[in-house]
Amino acid sequence: MYGDNTSPRALSQTEVDSAMDRRSFILTMGLAGSGLLLGMPDLAEANSRPTLQRQVASLVKRMRSQGKIRSDEETSWSVYDFTGRKKLVSINEEIPRQAASMIKPFVAQAFFYTAEEQGSRLRYTSVVRDTMERMIRKSSNSATNEIMQIVSRYNGNGGPRAVEAVLKRNAPNVYRQTYIVEYIPSNGRTYRNKASARDYSRFLYALWNGRSPYSRELLDLMALPNHDRITRGVNKIPSTVRVYDKTGSTARLCGNMGIIECRDRRGRPRPYTFVGVIQKRNRASAYGTWITNRSNRMREVSNLVYSYMRDQHRLA
């Protein structure tokens, strides 16, 4: 079992906007009472704030009202707190959306599963490692196809679907809404491979907890400097914070999934996952402008999440 599976069911945007968080209300009232008795009004005040889920939903709703996210665009959001061992945000989390380049860490994981199964027949050589780095850090489509072809060759020559089959055979509870059906075209217009925000979250949980082969190596690859949308350009996140991530970008998709490793004032790690996906129904006519604007919307959400985590865990 993967700890991420214990989270409450994913809520739709409508549910988030309209539902009353009864559990949060009860907790707030209880803490408020105990705070008055113990002389800790600051604790009661802190717990009277809206849940992070409500804050994210409210921010996205405001972006829509301002035209920053359009009516033909759907979003998914997920945040998991490793320290508290709980899901903090689950919005449209179960819906498979276009994966774009966010599928690439999954491809890497399929290779590592295959290498573990094949033993000496398939080795993780320096040449393969270089290809992996081009795939993850440089987001090379040709490098991705090369790794996919290796996985296919050792799994019945099933093409891209062999990659999906390897993942689901080895970790069926992780890749529940993942569909890998095509190599990535040279023009980068890959719209048919899909995964849900929940699958990304489960993958990151398993990776961080060492529940998959070569997990440390894959984390190292994902930690190589790149142009992420989770920490770079996010004004409240200090440069000392480390991120393990992969972006996804097409004229119909802006996404980022990753683990943010920050520390509290005592130097203790306080990691959490962040997954954000904005999917457009039709291709954007001005790709550069669209992807920049949606990347900035994602940074706004990431900024909000980090601010919440900073208050919760007294981050440095």
pLDDT of residue 315: 97
Q: Has residue 306 got a pLDDT over 90?
A: yes
Helices (H), the chain: 13-18, 22-38, 41-46, 52-65, 104-118, 126-136, 141-153, 160-170, 197-208, 215-222, 287-313
Three-state secondary-structure class, residue 53: helix
Taking residues 209-222, report their average pLDDT: 98
Q: Has residue 1 got a pLDDT over 50?
A: no
| DSSP code, position 71 | T
Could you tell me what percent of the chain has a pLDDT over 90? Answer: 82
- Cβ(86)–Cβ(279) under 8 Å? no
Highest average pLDDT, of 24-28, 39-43, 52-56, comes from 52-56
Handedness of CA 308, 260, 3, 79 (dihedral sign): positive
Which of residues 4 and 212 earns the better pLDDT score?
212
Question: Which tens digits make up the pLDDT trace of 224-281?
Answer: 999 999 999 999 999 999 999 999 999 999 999 999 999 999 999 999 999 999 999 9
The residue with tokens 């380049």 is 101
**CATH code of the region 3-16+51-313:** 3.40.710.10
Question: Which tens digits make up the pLDDT trace of 62-92?
Answer: 999 999 999 999 999 999 999 999 999 999 9
